[in-house]
Amino acid sequence: MNSILHPFLFLFDPRLPIYFPINLLKWHEMSSQLDTISLPEKPGLNFYFTVDVEYDYGSGSSGRSKFVKPFLEKIRPLLSEYGINSTFFVQGNLVESHQEILRKLSMDHEIGLHGYAHEPWGSSWFVKYQVPSISERNNLLERSLLAFKRAGLSPPKSFRAPNMVLDEKSRSLLIKHNFQVDSSYPSYFGGNSILTKYDNLLEVPVSVDPKPFFSRFGIAHYNVFNTYNIATNRFIGGPVEAVKRLIRLQLFHKQKPSLVFLCHPWEFFDIEDQVDEKLFGYSSSKNFRVLETILTELKKTFKLTSISLSKLNSSD
């Protein structure tokens, strides 16, 4: 059935122009609610810096991961300088080949799981590859857990699916294997960046600006807090104002203000000649400076508390 419906999943993307009236009304209603929430001069903010450690350029790559090690070696002292505790979601098949640097990182940061080889864990219109069967996904989880053990790492407690696409069967597998946090909610579709609990599994979405940008064709663009949107300056009013909108939304829902930021190792190196510049042209060694700038702005504007994602579930 999934293979039959797959070509039509695009029509259910809530960002499409056919949903423009709904999205516009939704934002107007939300905006009026957020206007009732006042913020202190320097609001408190839990900050979750996360990295998807994966093949270079993600699912569309040739299976190489040459940017992983140099990124991990460079990001470690930078995070230490800013007092940031992070969660690194690592592909299971990359764990043993990078075990030395991952063990060093694990002393101050959380090592989570990002699938086994960047395979899909659910269906969406933009997912090009066949979703593994439930038994195959279970096997991939077990292989990943074994890789962690062989690398001398603690079993992962947090999971993020490639492309942030996860179905109910995959979520059940995570619960079965004692994961505490999933960060796969497709926040790029819009909606509330709020926490949801499924049995003992806490869903922690990557944060998104609740205010959409509408293109001239009526397409709603929801800017996720990630390297791309920071590097290309896509936030309305700037990233700090977007974070304030997010905080107001979370306070409206009576949740602690939190910001989940996402990046990938390959985004911090100059794009290679054979790579699609339209998709990945923002990738640049200059993004380390961009990251430092946004971290400095966040620390200046908010009272940041930086912890790993799994600790969020243990302290919710």
* pLDDT (0 to 100) of residue 129: 72
Give the distance from CA 270 to its chain's centroid: 22
Record the pTM. 0.91
> Where does 7-154 have alpha helices with state H?
20-34, 68-82, 99-106, 134-150
Question: Cβ atoms within 10 A of the Cβ of 193, count?
Answer: 25
Tens digits of residue pLDDT in 251-291: 998 989 999 999 999 999 999 888 889 889 999 999 999 99
Measured distance CA(299)–CA(305) in Å, rounded: 9
The residue ranking higher by pLDDT, 133 or 26, is 133
Query: pLDDT band at 204, cuts 50/70/90?
Result: very high
Measured distance CA(59)–CA(255) in Å, rounded: 34
* pLDDT (0 to 100) of residue 63: 82
Q: Does the structure show a pLDDT above 50 at 199? A: yes
Identify which of 222, 186, 221, 223 has the alpha carbon closest to the alpha carbon of residue 205. Answer: 186
User: Encoding tokens for residue 129?
Assistant: 């590859």
Q: Does the structure show a pLDDT above 70 at 60? A: no
* pLDDT (0 to 100) of residue 59: 67
Q: Does the structure show a pLDDT above 80 at 2? A: no
* pLDDT (0 to 100) of residue 316: 47
Identify which of 237, 207, 241 has the alpha carbon closest to the alpha carbon of residue 223. Answer: 207
CA distances from 254 to 50, 159, 247, 257 (A): 24, 25, 10, 9
* pLDDT (0 to 100) of residue 8: 57
- Domains along the chain? 2-314 (3.20.20.370)
